[in-house]
């Protein structure tokens, strides 16, 4: 009975790893720049630091194509490669990294390229490749990146089961961060699993005694004590197990496992009365927890050992009822997950920021499904699959936005067609005037008139507007004087008229030189204007011919883009559906596993009830005279 109940849980606990994360798991990537010199690179960085990686990729790709970021060529490729990796585009990222890890690239960029490549290889479980990439880093990385590199190397060594090297490395770096503590915990558990129990327990013992200053260190300390306790239970050393398990907080997330372990440690001492205390406490807790489910059998088991079969029978029957309900709830949960709402419900609880490979699920939904699947939700396989589903969802939203944009482009194109149609008559009229040489003919008239003025010394033709008005006024006055001369003496008036006309002619004559130069200059300006007009008209004529072709060309490009987006949407939808089915399958497999475990508990409880009843019936037969 004892081995049946505890074996699976002990194996699970001694193999339970605290999730290994990098220090960048909760923050955006840091890009170190001494000076930003290209505006388009800054535009891409704006989206990048907002964790909107897809717009950042688009802007950066366009900037590279337009060659508008010459001062940040290497940095832009490093940034682009990292974002390609964020979306799982390994081939494109690999091509960029290949260009960045040559001797022609500055060492600071080359080292960062190797570092990012190591990170993504580790996360994708390419541990040997990650190890090789880390070894390629020459010298130290700047700031916190160096510490992260050291911890990444420790995790890579652990993943390759090179425990001695990992232990040596962790000892040498002497890092006290929470991530280093996680790495040391994983190393200790790995050593216990591989049979090096004493050295593993020595590491766990140090972790169990660390000063807890926050929730994370409290959790690590509890985890270390639980792992130590169960390792001692496996070796039938209940006293040491009790010492460790009693250190676990009663209200922590590992308290249920600690209480269950306490009971089995007392059981090894055959102290069933004391074993009942933690198990009875577990009976009051949430039945969704596996330790609570196991305690439902542990309590009647202890009561049977104490000879209290009747009470044990009651607890067994209660356990049978609870197990049956849990199996039914699990079945209902499986049906609910199969309906397709579970994954969307998970994503609805997360932040909307695009974080690529750094993104991780922040909050589990408060539902029956998530309570049953907490272990799965925290697993690497589920997180990676959920990340892929989320990335596909982001891509789908962008494709839908682009579909809307193509409709906008259609409107813009149609507006330009209408504007062209409205302006075309005026354009054609202007072109016709040019083709008919109407403007050139007028220019030639002006030229002929100027030549006549110069040849005939026609001073009055050089008069300005004011002078012409004065000359016209004097001409009218002379006509009136001629009409009055038969009746009156107009000699004085004629003298004044002669003097005024002489003044005007004198003014014109004195300005003859400047005015002649102005006429020639204006004629030259007119020639230049006609030349420019001819050039513009030629361009207009060309535009008139090419505009319809351009409209049709843009329309065709928009139609092609629209069709491509539709095809990509179909592919994305199919990939998203496949990924959703994979996630649902992982969840359902986990629930089926729980069903089988609870079903085994149910079978054991039913068998125990039959045993007690059979024992009671035989006892009655013996007692009969």
Locate the domains of the chain by residue range. 417-623
Mean pLDDT of 109-123: 82
Classify the phi-psi angles of 359: left when phi > 0, otherwise alpha if psi is within -120 to 50, otherwise beta: beta
Between 563 and 217, name the one with better pLDDT. Answer: 563
163 within 8 A of 187, measured Cβ to Cβ: yes
- Tokens read off for 153: 């190397």
Q: Which of 77, 115, 72 is nearest to 96 (CA)?
A: 77
What secondary structure letter does DSSP report for 460? Answer: G
Q: Where are the beta strands (DSSP E) in 36-97?
A: none
User: Does 18 score more than 90 pLDDT?
Assistant: no
User: Does 217 score more than 70 pLDDT?
Assistant: yes
Between 20 and 46, name the one with better pLDDT. Answer: 46
Beta carbons within 10 angstroms of residue 243's beta carbon: 16
User: Does 604 score more than 90 pLDDT?
Assistant: yes
Q: Tell me the pLDDT band of 597, cut-offs 50, 70 and 90.
A: very high
pLDDT of residue 99: 75
pLDDT of residue 564: 92
User: Does 25 score more than 70 pLDDT?
Assistant: no
- 153-192: pLDDT as tens digits: 888 988 888 878 887 887 777 666 777 777 788 888 777 7
pLDDT of residue 10: 37
314 within 8 A of 304, measured Cβ to Cβ: no
45 within 8 A of 31, measured Cβ to Cβ: yes
Q: Tell me the pLDDT band of 619, cut-offs 50, 70 and 90.
A: low
What secondary structure letter does DSSP report for 356? Answer: G
Q: Tell me the pLDDT band of 284, cut-offs 50, 70 and 90.
A: very high
User: Does 117 score more than 60 pLDDT?
Assistant: yes
Mean pLDDT of 362-388: 67
Angle between helix axes 309-338 and 512-623 (nearest 10 degrees) is 150
Between 158 and 298, name the one with better pLDDT. Answer: 298
User: Does 279 score more than 90 pLDDT?
Assistant: yes
303 within 8 A of 568, measured Cβ to Cβ: no
Mean pLDDT of 35-45: 85
Confidence (pTM): 0.63
- Tokens read off for 438: 């109407």
> Mean pLDDT lowest for which of 105-119, 235-249, 281-295, 326-340?
105-119
Q: Which residues contact 251 (CB under 8 A, 6 or more apart)?
A: none
pLDDT of residue 348: 66
Gap between the Cα atoms of 597 and 297, Å rounded: 13
Task: Kindly tell me the burial class for residue 495, based on how many C-beta atoms sit within 10 Å of its own C-beta (0-12, 13-18, 19 or more).
Answer: exposed
The rounded percent of the chain whose pLDDT value lies above 70 is 83
Q: Which of 27-31, 364-368, 499-503, 620-624 has the highest mean pLDDT?
A: 499-503
Angle between helix axes 215-234 and 255-268 (nearest 10 degrees) is 20
Gap between the Cα atoms of 282 and 276, Å rounded: 10
Gap between the Cα atoms of 265 and 260, Å rounded: 9
Gap between the Cα atoms of 504 and 20, Å rounded: 102
Between 13 and 478, name the one with better pLDDT. Answer: 478
Phi/psi of residue 108, nearest 5 degrees: -60, -40
User: Does 364 score more than 70 pLDDT?
Assistant: no
Mean pLDDT of 276-294: 91
Radius of gyration of the chain from Cα atoms?
Answer: 45
Angle between helix axes 144-159 and 107-123 (nearest 10 degrees) is 40
Gap between the Cα atoms of 85 and 358, Å rounded: 10
User: Does 559 score more than 70 pLDDT?
Assistant: yes
Place of tokens 């059998």: 297
pLDDT of residue 502: 86
What secondary structure letter does DSSP report for 21? Answer: -
Q: Which of 27, 20, 26, 12 is nearest to 182 (CA)?
A: 20
Q: Which of 317-331, 344-358, 408-422 has the highest mean pLDDT?
A: 317-331
- Tokens read off for 202: 């020595």
pLDDT of residue 146: 83
User: Does 368 score more than 60 pLDDT?
Assistant: no
- 349-360: pLDDT as tens digits: 555 554 444 445
Q: Which of 549, 554, 548 is nearest to 406 (CA)?
A: 554
pLDDT of residue 19: 40
3-state secondary structure of 263: helix
135 within 8 A of 10, measured Cβ to Cβ: no
User: Does 233 score more than 90 pLDDT?
Assistant: yes
User: Does 14 score more than 50 pLDDT?
Assistant: no
Mean pLDDT of 263-284: 94
Gap between the Cα atoms of 133 and 117, Å rounded: 7
Place of tokens 């439902």: 296
Q: Tell me the pLDDT band of 407, cut-offs 50, 70 and 90.
A: confident
Gap between the Cα atoms of 427 and 538, Å rounded: 11
- Tokens read off for 598: 């609870």
pLDDT of residue 303: 94
Mean pLDDT of 190-203: 79
Between 193 and 74, name the one with better pLDDT. Answer: 74
Between 514 and 456, name the one with better pLDDT. Answer: 514
User: Does 258 score more than 90 pLDDT?
Assistant: yes
């Amino acid at each position: 009975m004892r081995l049946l109940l505890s074996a699976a849980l002990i194996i699970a606990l001694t193999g339970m790893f605290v999730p290994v994360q990098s220090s960048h798991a909760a923050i955006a990537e840091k890009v170190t720049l001494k000076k930003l010199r290209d505006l388009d690179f800054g535009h891409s960085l704006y989206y990048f630091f907002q964790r909107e990686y897809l717009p950042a990729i688009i802007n950066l790709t366009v900037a590279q194509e337009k060659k508008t970021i010459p001062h940040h060529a290497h940095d832009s490729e490093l940034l682009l490669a990292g974002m390609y990796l964020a979306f799982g585009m390994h081939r494109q990222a690999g091509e960029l990294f290949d260009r960045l890890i040559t001797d022609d690239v500055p060492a600071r960029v080359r080292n960062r390229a190797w570092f990012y490549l190591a990170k993504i290889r580790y996360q994708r479980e390419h541990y040997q490749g990650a190890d090789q990439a880390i070894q390629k880093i020459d010298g130290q990385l700047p700031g916190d990146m160096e510490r992260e590199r050291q911890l990444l190397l420790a995790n890579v060594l652990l993943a390759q089961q090179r425990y001695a090297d990992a232990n040596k490395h962790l000892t040498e770096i002497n890092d006290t961060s929470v991530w280093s503590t996680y790495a040391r915990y994983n190393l200790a558990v790995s050593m216990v699993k591989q049979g090096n129990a004493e050295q593993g327990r020595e590491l766990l013992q140090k972790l169990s005694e660390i000063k807890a200053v926050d929730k994370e260190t409290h959790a690590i300390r509890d985890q270390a004590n639980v792992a130590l306790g169960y390792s001692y239970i496996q070796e039938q050393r209940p006293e040491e197990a009790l010492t460790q398990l009693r250190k676990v907080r009663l209200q922590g997330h590992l308290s249920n496992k600690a209480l269950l372990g306490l009971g089995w440690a007392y059981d090894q001492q055959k102290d069933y009365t004391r074993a009942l205390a933690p198990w009875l406490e577990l009976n009051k807790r949430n039945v969704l927890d596996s330790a609570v489910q196991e305690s439902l059998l542990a309590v009647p088991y202890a009561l049977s050992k104490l000879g209290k079969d009747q009470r044990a029978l009651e607890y067994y029957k209660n356990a049978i009822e609870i197990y049956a309900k849990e199996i039914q709830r699990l079945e209902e949960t499986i049906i609910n997950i199969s309906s397709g709402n579970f994954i969307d419900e998970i994503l609805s609880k997360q932040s909307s920021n695009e974080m690529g490979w750094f993104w991780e699920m922040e909050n589990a939904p408060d539902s029956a499904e998530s309570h049953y699947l907490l272990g799965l939700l925290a697993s690497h396989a589920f997180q990676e699959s959920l990340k892929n589903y989320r990335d596909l969802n982001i891509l789908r939203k962008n494709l839908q936005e682009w579909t809307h944009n193509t409709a906008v482009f259609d409107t813009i194109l149609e507006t330009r067609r209408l504007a062209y149609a409205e302006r075309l008559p005026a354009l054609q009229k202007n072109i016709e005037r040019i083709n008919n040489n109407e403007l050139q003919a007028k220019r030639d008239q002006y030229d002929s008139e100027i030549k006549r003025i110069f040849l005939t010394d026609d001073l009055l033709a050089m008069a300005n507007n004011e002078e012409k008005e004065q000359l016209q006024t004097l001409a009218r006055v002379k006509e009136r004087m001629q009409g009055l001369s038969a009746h009156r003496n107009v000699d004085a008036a004629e003298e004044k008229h002669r003097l005024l006309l002489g003044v005007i002619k004198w003014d014109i004559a004195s300005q003859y030189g400047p005015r002649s130069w102005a006429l020639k200059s204006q004629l030259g300006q007119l020639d230049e204007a006609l030349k420019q007009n001819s050039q513009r008209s030629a361009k207009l004529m060309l535009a008139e011919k090419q505009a319809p072709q351009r409209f049709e060309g843009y329309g065709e490009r928009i139609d092609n883009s629209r069709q491509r987006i539709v095809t990509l949407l179909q592919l994305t939808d199919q990939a998203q559906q496949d990924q959703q089915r994979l996630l649902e399958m992982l969840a359902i497999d986990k629930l089926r596993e729980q069903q089988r475990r609870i079903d085994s508990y149910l079978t054991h409880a039913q068998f125990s009830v039959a045993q007690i009843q059979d024992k009671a019936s035989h006892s009655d037969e013996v007692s009969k005279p």
